[in-house]
Structure 1
């Protein structure tokens, strides 16, 4: 009887110290550091530069996201972050110019997640959803304006889909580590207008892979 009582007490202590899992009705808030790596491709910069396109550089930024657990397994996540990207010529005359423009990107993304093991010591999930990307504060680079004069630049906003996979690793009843990877379908059309060469246009498929690592809490 003493042995049984000891085992029961030990089990109760372990149960009491085990990290609580997210349940229906909980809010999860995470802060992550992101690496945004475009898997980019582009058309030609037309009409003046046939055969020449652009590349989009990586970006690094902090991010905040919110997940509402509708059930123990299903959650809805919204991410909020903004990043600054630069575009460069990929060949010919444009490559010799170097950086062509800078733009800020605001890509709010909403995903529906499925959490496979909400009670586990590692809690993986997958998600799919939609993204709307806003390009703002887009400016021509100094090197481009040195080559062709004053340049007005704009980029069209983008609507697309998103895929997601990640895992939460609980630290205690409230805090958990998080690792997350997303693929975001993102495209834009950049337009550059100068007095010297007129209006140029190029379609760019940015399609970033977004890798994040951070810490979260639940409410």
Structure 2
């Protein structure tokens, strides 16, 4: 995963260098933009619990992001949203639910093709777990954790101010779970996040 993360950064820097040397686009660009999306969060859970598989539900929630452009190609995006996921042992105990708050900061490179603006990005997130319900258990705790993010997306201009957005992100995220204050397990969540929304330049 680290090799993939590093490769994406090097790829983006190489493209940035080529386009900076041969760019016929206007230097005019909006430094700020915001998007509102509806996203689906699809976890791919895995764990180190012998004889049991943790299942984490898919969630559909609103998401807000803000993007700042250093120049017309290179930008930083802060993603804000929160989601509730039901957790259970497959064909076993109900582990209740937990809320996730995963602010994510991505460095992006944007391309231009008429009204279309595809982009790729990579970054980090810090996921805060809160509001946990233990379900069939007496107690369950999730440790907040740092993860990595990969991203690809497409903006389509409706006019000079408004645009549509399609965005796909993969978060590489795991947490240490403590059950009944004694038993511990490591759970990979690794969600795929697919979003569709509208954005505004300002």
**Larger-gyration structure (1/2):** 1
CA RMSD of aligned residues (A): 1.7
Task: Map 1:174-213 onto structure 2 (within 5 A).
Answer: 174-193=161-180, 199-213=182-196
Cα offsets for 1:32-52 (capped at 9, x unmatched): 0000001111111xxxxx422
TM-score (norm 1): 0.77
Count of residue pairs brought into register by the alignment = 177
Task: Map 1:66-215 onto structure 2 (within 5 A).
Answer: 66-90=66-90, 95-97=91-93, 99-117=94-112, 120-141=114-135, 144-145=136-137, 151-193=138-180, 199-215=182-198
Tell me how far apart the structure 2 counterparts of residues 161 and 23 of structure 1 sit (CA, whole Å): 32
Tell me how far apart the structure 2 counterparts of residues 166 and 156 of structure 1 sit (CA, whole Å): 30
Report the counterpart of residue 16 of structure 1 in structure 2: none
Contact 1:23 1:69 in 2 (8 A): no
TM-score (norm 2): 0.83
Q: Secondary structure at the match of 2:160?
A: coil
Cα offsets for 1:135-168 (capped at 9, x unmatched): 0111111xx14xxxxx121101111110000010
**Structure 2, unpaired ranges of 5+:** 1-25
Contact 2:102 2:125 in 1 (8 A): yes
Cα offsets for 1:36-80 (capped at 9, x unmatched): 001111111xxxxx4223111111100000000110101100000
**1:51 aligned onto 2:51:** yes
